[in-house]
Chains A and B, each alone.
Chain A
Amino acid sequence: MNLIILSWNYIRSKPLNTLLNMLLMALGIAIILVLILLSSQLEENLNKNKRGVDLVVGAKGSPLQLILANVYHIDFPTGNIKLEEARALTRNRLIAGAIPLALGDNYRGFRIVGTNHEYVQLYEGSLTSGQLWKRNMESVIGANVAERLNLKPGDTFFGAHGLSVADMEHEERPYKIVGVLGRNNSVLDNLILTNIESVWAVHEHEEEHEHSEHADEPELGSAYESGLPEGDEDAEITSMLLKFRSPMGAVTLPRMINSNTNMQAASPAFETQRLFSLLGIGVELLRSFAYIIIIIAGLSIFISLYNALKDRKYDLAIMRSLGASKTKLFVHVILEGVIITVLGGALGFVLGHGLTEFLAGLYEKSEAMGLTGLVFVKQEWWVVVISIGIGLLASVIPAVNAYKTDISDVLAKE
């Protein structure tokens, strides 16, 4: 027998009351946890995938869409830009590096991205098998693509036009897989990479249906390692990821590009921040709602403790007569409140993580965003602190009452 067992027995003797208080507490905690888990993972993911990219240049349109489509591969591209115009831009002395991207096709929902080897280096991708692409129609697939579609080097597939699953397939020219990338929780995991000319080739094919018979032999692509490929004057790419040579680039380049060219420049840092401030309102609202639930839980624990202790006056007086000091009774009551909130907090912890995992499973893009309920983030320690704090706060007044119990008075009044 000790105070914890004693408090626990009292809690057990009122199961319904305890359950209600625990559920209230758990609900509040769970909502907060879901918010913490989702927003922290989203933020981490967004920050990770934009590192090394100072500026994205693409077709005019929504700058946020440009970033979402070309950096995170979750939105549709704004359109295409002329290859020559892009090439002219790369000669600017403020630009240290430029990686071209050609989007537009997918294979079973995984995007096919035409680019060069620098794109793999940007995200520190490494091969687990095979090699990077060199020839046209060679491709390298991300870890999730390989796992989900059960593909390996040597396999071939037909790309489908568009960025969603149901679109028509380009049935004439198959891609050949030459390498598989290891998982590194970046966008690479969910992409199929090839060179830009392959993406062109698939589309040219459609336009020049008649004389396609001799184009099938593999040819070495141009600029597959770095730089922009050679193309005719009509050639287009979707976007370019730029790295500045100096901070001066951030000052002058966006304005220059936006006003002097047919292209648009958008900063990933700025756009993701804008995205967060937009999402932030909703998150804040939900968070306040969760805190209100937690406060109500605290209030409910306070009321039930307060009422229960009115009935337990004799119990407390008897315990004093058996030798318990005032402090012991104080701790006994405090423990009761803390045990309920900690149990509620623990339930909320399980519920919050479970709910996050469930939500991540419901939303198909969540894998691409790296969302899961099965991680622990540091902010969750706050939840532990909050639940213990609420328990203390809710039980302090009943505990003071227990501390002040006048034993003789209570016992004489029977």
Chain B
Amino acid sequence: MIIINDLAFGYASHKVLSIPQLQVEEGKHLLILGASGSGKTTLLHILGGLLAPQEGTVRIGQTDLYRLSGAQRDKYRGQNIGLIFQKAHLISALSVQDNLLLAQYLAGMAQDRGRVKEVLTSLGLADKLYKKVKALSQGEQQRVTIARALLNRPRVILADEPTASLDDTNAHKVIDLLKSQAEQNNASLLIATHDQRVKDQFELQLNLATL
């Protein structure tokens, strides 16, 4: 469960974001819509513990995200929040397997090759285990980042414009994949996008432009 209270964020006098109250139940999904510059990414970063809000609180379950110390918040994020970005940011110096092991290591979890293989298999990437990241196609890289986000069985998955650079077919595939994976892991999925194509696939929607 994600609960936001009296959230406010802005640069200087200019207010970017203001959310009095928002609640997403366990296992429910939320689509955050809005044109670019509407504060979608900012909200996602605040939810992910990457960016402290000026006012208000963000709670995930019993944890008040911004009452944790910096290092505690980093660790909490690594273990409970899976982040997916528009571009597939993988560590190109490492193999696919090492990218995922790194995610376990940095989150302070046990390094479990079995789990790595399991997640990659569920995304159809089992044969790419030892491949260098650069040897993968764009779509494969995107799927590896999804695998990475799911690896530590997060309670919340945050995806920022995951479909922006994909064609219609692949956009639907990715959304389906994210939804099914989130359901399998019993995680809440929050997607920020300006992509109208994915609109019909979510019941719960937050349109930032209308605030």
A residues with CB within 8 A of B: 1-2, 5-6, 9-10, 12-13, 314-315, 317-328, 407-408, 411-412, 414
B71 pairs with A326, CB closer than 8 A: yes
- Closest chain-A Cβ to B147's Cβ sits at a distance in Å of 13
Point out the residues of chain A lying under 8 angstroms from B87, CB to CB.
414
- Closest chain-A Cβ to B178's Cβ sits at a distance in Å of 17
Q: Identify which of residues 11-50 in chain B touch chain A, using a CB-to-CB cut-off of 8 Å.
A: 41-42, 45, 48, 50
Q: Chain A residue with minimal CB distance to B83? A: A321
B89 pairs with A318, CB closer than 8 A: yes
- Closest chain-B Cβ to A92's Cβ sits at a distance in Å of 79
B108 pairs with A411, CB closer than 8 A: no
The listed residue (A5, A318, A323) touching B74 by CB distance below 8 A is A323
B105 pairs with A12, CB closer than 8 A: no
Point out the residues of chain A lying under 8 angstroms from B111, CB to CB.
1
A408 pairs with B93, CB closer than 8 A: no
A322 pairs with B93, CB closer than 8 A: no
Point out the residues of chain B lying under 8 angstroms from A315, CB to CB.
89, 91-92
Q: How many residues of B contact A (CB 8 A)?
A: 35
Considering the complex of A and B, which 10 residue pairs feature the smallest CB-CB distances, nearest first?
A323-B78, A323-B107, A408-B51, A13-B93, A1-B101, A325-B71, A324-B106, A1-B105, A408-B45, A408-B50
Given A9-B94, A13-B92, CB of A322 within 8 Å of CB of B102: yes
B78 pairs with A324, CB closer than 8 A: yes
B residues with CB within 8 A of A: 41-42, 45, 48, 50-51, 70-71, 74-75, 77-79, 83, 85-87, 89-94, 98, 101-108, 111, 148, 160
The listed residue (B48, B75, B101, B160) touching A325 by CB distance below 8 A is B75
A414 pairs with B85, CB closer than 8 A: yes
Apart from A1-B111, A9-B98, list 17 A-B contacts with CB within 8 A. A1-B105, A9-B93, A315-B92, A318-B91, A321-B77, A322-B77, A322-B83, A322-B148, A323-B75, A323-B103, A323-B107, A324-B106, A326-B70, A408-B45, A412-B42, A412-B45, A414-B87
- Is the contact region of chain A dominated by helix, strand, or loop, or is it mixed? helix
Point out the residues of chain B lying under 8 angstroms from A314, CB to CB.
89
Q: Chain A residue with minimal CB distance to B109? A: A323
A407 pairs with B102, CB closer than 8 A: no
Bound-state Cα–Cα, A314 to B87, Å? 11
A323 pairs with B45, CB closer than 8 A: no
**Which one of A9, A323, A412 has the highest number of Cβ atoms from chain B below 10 Å of its Cβ?**
A323
Bound-state Cα–Cα, A10 to B71, Å? 24
Q: Chain A residue with minimal CB distance to B104? A: A1
- Closest chain-B Cβ to A310's Cβ sits at a distance in Å of 15
Q: Chain B residue with minimal CB distance to A11? A: B93
Bound-state Cα–Cα, A266 to B78, Å? 77
Point out the residues of chain A lying under 8 angstroms from B77, CB to CB.
321-323
Q: Chain A residue with minimal CB distance to B45? A: A408
Bound-state Cα–Cα, A171 to B42, Å? 101
Bound-state Cα–Cα, A380 to B90, Å? 42
Bound-state Cα–Cα, A320 to B74, Å? 7
Q: Chain A residue with minimal CB distance to B161? A: A414
B98 pairs with A411, CB closer than 8 A: no
Point out the residues of chain A lying under 8 angstroms from B107, CB to CB.
322-323
Point out the residues of chain B lying under 8 angstroms from A1, CB to CB.
98, 101-102, 104-105, 111
Q: Chain B residue with minimal CB distance to A5? A: B98
Bound-state Cα–Cα, A323 to B107, Å? 5
Bound-state Cα–Cα, A9 to B92, Å? 10
